[in-house]
A and B are shown apart, each in its own frame.
Chain A
């Protein structure tokens, strides 16, 4: 017995991480699916921990909250398309490795433009007013993105902090406008604009409040996908993003591409502001963007800027958010619970990418 033990070589395993060469699509999606399931489990533990309710009824509550009634379903759809629109808007900038953290501000400025038109342009005929709202909100958003774009192109100014700071400048502009627009006076809020006349509201169509929102988002999503994939400008953006040296070498005017791309990106975010104000809330406040400018960054990143992927991720996040808002009110919690849930979901989804790109290997080491 003793001899036998001596004869067995001691084996030690050493773990180390190896980069994967290629991974099959099936396997990658399987890993993501596991991450989603795990994130749902952990969220359930958190919710159950707080509410002390049966987890099944909690998830029932989430589903009920997201799609339980017609109204809730359409609210969820409305939120999905807005988030998707912002994410789509961010794609050109991200493809260029331009960290546009300023979607919040670009949305707000677009929202200010459309609210201003709704308030001061009541007498303009509806089709013209709507066109103006769309065009002006895009121009306003564009201006907000143009500034950091220009400085990045010329002085290589750090774009993430620049855009971030512009968010707060935009927020101050909103509070500044609220001083003049507040209704009723003293409320420090704008209230529903043109509640009676519905001037500047996106019209109902096919009996649906949000038809125009959906049309706008679908059109923009398809347009940007085609632009990025098939156009010469889209190709230039990809080259600049991968390597500015190569771009220079190819004779691409890097500064021009940078500024142009940032204008496109921020114009779409500005448009999202109009979609929110004219197409959904019909009012404006500092929380009009409501952090969606940041969530959209995560959406675009996690979906690897693939339009279908972004739709999927937006749907998942919004579904869970709307659902948790419902449970929060059902169990007397506050609505910030949904931010915690969103955070947990995102952590898992980001984390799982590691297992798609790397794998952990064991190496056997024999000791003499």
Chain B
């Protein structure tokens, strides 16, 4: 029972960054942009958030003050959002304004973003005195708890529901809002039109460029929070190179499983999260066989992909213009 509990909590811990990434990618893809740079953007968001908190705490300490957790949180948030915005802006400018190939730009952005994360991660590790020496105690502790201790002590529920930091809860709220936005608002409707057929949206007086930029930038910032979650809540405010791994790619795969609906991604991310940590909790594993169990998330993704490729309901298809640049005077 206790093991199952720990497993669920660990699965949720893995699910949150995937959910952020998937929500961000869905918002982006709804505008017809397939942003393969999301994994890189998540790295950028993570490291920049960490740097914001790190430099704030460092300067506070060197000035002889106790760092204020709230300011640290704010610095981290601003750093994270600004960097993800920058990543989204590079992608948007190249694919929307300059109409470059989305796949190529996305891959380049991921190379850039991962390099960006590891470079600055490595650099501030050095400033901090070595690998794993980065510490932003105050800020991280704020990120790691949200509900008061008493609530966490409620049996079972306390651990499963109340034991996380605010970014965990925020991820669900964002997914719900994103779905509401896409289905129940005028802007959401216009966005769907842009992703389905930009020429039609354009003829209807919708500013295609604005919507594409807007949703790509917003999507990038949502995804960036996934990176911040990982460094702050999951790692507790430190950095390890390539530590975030391939979660960004899994988030992109999750979009298909979620049928382009962020609320579905909540459940999907839980499944992926569980598969991600299964090898730790599966009894009777040798070192070699646990390596094979680690394949599961990818294998399951592939199976889901194959299964979903056969469905043909129009609502369950990707946005029709996904991956293509729009040029009004194309004949």
Chain A residues lying within 8 Å of B329, measured Cβ to Cβ, are: 17-19
Interface string of A1-31 (1 = CB under 8 A from B): 0000000000000000111000000000000
Chain A residues lying within 8 Å of B108, measured Cβ to Cβ, are: 298, 343, 346-347, 350
Binds A, one of B142-150, B222-230, B296-304: B296-304
Q: Which of B104, B107, B305 contacts A162 (CB 8 A)?
A: B305
Chain A residues lying within 8 Å of B110, measured Cβ to Cβ, are: 294
Whether B132 sits at the interface, judged by CB under 8 Å, is no
Alpha-carbon separation in the docked complex, A160 to B327 (Å): 25
Specify the chain A residue showing the minimal Cβ separation from B331.
A19
Q: Is the CB of B104 within 8 A of A301?
A: yes
Alpha-carbon separation in the docked complex, A353 to B118 (Å): 29
Q: Is the CB of B299 within 8 A of A347?
A: no
- Judged by DSSP, the binding face of A is helix
Alpha-carbon separation in the docked complex, A172 to B297 (Å): 11
Specify the chain A residue showing the minimal Cβ separation from B309.
A157
Specify the chain A residue showing the minimal Cβ separation from B97.
A354
Whether A34 sits at the interface, judged by CB under 8 Å, is no
Chain B residues lying within 8 Å of A166, measured Cβ to Cβ, are: 298, 302
Alpha-carbon separation in the docked complex, A160 to B322 (Å): 13
Total contacting residues, chain A, CB less than 8 A: 50
**Residue picked from A17, A302, A334, most chain B C-beta under 10 Å:** A334
Whether A59 sits at the interface, judged by CB under 8 Å, is no
Q: Is the CB of B119 within 8 A of A336?
A: yes
Q: Is the CB of B111 within 8 A of A294?
A: yes
Q: Which of A151, A291, A339, A354 contacts B306 (CB 8 A)?
A: A151
Q: Shortest beta-carbon distance, B305 to chain A, in Å?
A: 6
User: Given A155-B310, A157-B306, A164-B249, does the pair A339, B107 have CB atoms closer than 8 Å?
Assistant: no
Alpha-carbon separation in the docked complex, A99 to B36 (Å): 12
Specify the chain A residue showing the minimal Cβ separation from B91.
A347
Q: Is the CB of B305 within 8 A of A347?
A: no
Specify the chain A residue showing the minimal Cβ separation from B252.
A161
Alpha-carbon separation in the docked complex, A339 to B115 (Å): 5
Interface string of A326-338 (1 = CB under 8 A from B): 0000001110111
Chain B residues lying within 8 Å of A351, measured Cβ to Cβ, are: 93-94, 98, 100
Q: Shortest beta-carbon distance, A323 to chain B, in Å?
A: 15
Chain A residues lying within 8 Å of B16, measured Cβ to Cβ, are: none
Q: Which of B93, B98, B104, B114 contacts A339 (CB 8 A)?
A: B114
Q: Is the CB of B287 within 8 A of A179?
A: yes
Q: Is the CB of A337 within 8 A of B111?
A: no
Alpha-carbon separation in the docked complex, A175 to B329 (Å): 51
Q: Is the CB of B122 within 8 A of A343?
A: no
Whether A33 sits at the interface, judged by CB under 8 Å, is no
Alpha-carbon separation in the docked complex, A161 to B307 (Å): 13
Total contacting residues, chain B, CB less than 8 A: 50
Chain A residues lying within 8 Å of B330, measured Cβ to Cβ, are: 19
Whether B135 sits at the interface, judged by CB under 8 Å, is no
Q: Is the CB of B119 within 8 A of A334?
A: yes
Q: Is the CB of B295 within 8 A of A179?
A: no
Specify the chain B residue showing the minimal Cβ separation from A337.
B119
Specify the chain A residue showing the minimal Cβ separation from B246.
A168
Q: Is the CB of A343 within 8 A of B100?
A: no
Specify the chain A residue showing the minimal Cβ separation from B114.
A339
Chain B residues lying within 8 Å of A259, measured Cβ to Cβ, are: none
Alpha-carbon separation in the docked complex, A332 to B119 (Å): 12
Whether A342 sits at the interface, judged by CB under 8 Å, is yes
Q: Is the CB of B115 within 8 A of A350?
A: no
Q: Is the CB of B122 within 8 A of A358?
A: no
Q: Shortest beta-carbon distance, A334 to chain B, in Å?
A: 4
Whether B256 sits at the interface, judged by CB under 8 Å, is yes
Alpha-carbon separation in the docked complex, A339 to B107 (Å): 12
Q: Is the CB of A158 within 8 A of B111?
A: no
Q: Is the CB of A99 within 8 A of B115?
A: no
Whether A227 sits at the interface, judged by CB under 8 Å, is no
Chain A residues lying within 8 Å of B294, measured Cβ to Cβ, are: 172, 175
Alpha-carbon separation in the docked complex, A354 to B95 (Å): 10
Q: Which of A101, A161, A332, A353 contacts B107 (CB 8 A)?
A: A101
* 8 Å CB interface, B58-77 against A: none
Q: Is the CB of A339 within 8 A of B111?
A: yes
Whether A295 sits at the interface, judged by CB under 8 Å, is yes
Interface string of A183-196 (1 = CB under 8 A from B): 00000000000000
Chain B residues lying within 8 Å of A158, measured Cβ to Cβ, are: 256, 305, 309
Interface string of A272-302 (1 = CB under 8 A from B): 0000000000000000000100110110011
Whether A235 sits at the interface, judged by CB under 8 Å, is no
Q: Shortest beta-carbon distance, B117 to chain A, in Å?
A: 8
Chain B residues lying within 8 Å of A161, measured Cβ to Cβ, are: 252-253, 256, 301, 305
Q: Is the CB of A339 within 8 A of B298?
A: no
Q: Is the CB of B123 within 8 A of A334?
A: yes
Alpha-carbon separation in the docked complex, A161 to B288 (Å): 26
Q: Is the CB of A339 within 8 A of B118?
A: yes
Chain B residues lying within 8 Å of A101, measured Cβ to Cβ, are: 36, 103, 107
> Can you offer 10 A-B residue contacts whose CB atoms are under 8 A?
A17-B327, A172-B298, A334-B122, A336-B241, A339-B115, A339-B118, A340-B115, A343-B109, A350-B104, A354-B98
A17-B329, A354-B97 are known; give 19 further A-B pairs, CB within 8 A: A101-B107, A155-B309, A165-B253, A168-B249, A169-B295, A176-B291, A179-B291, A333-B123, A334-B123, A336-B115, A342-B111, A342-B115, A343-B108, A346-B112, A350-B94, A350-B98, A350-B104, A353-B100, A358-B327
Please give me the 7 A-B residue pairs with the lowest Cβ-Cβ distance, nearest first.
Answer: A339-B115, A343-B112, A334-B122, A354-B98, A336-B119, A336-B118, A157-B309
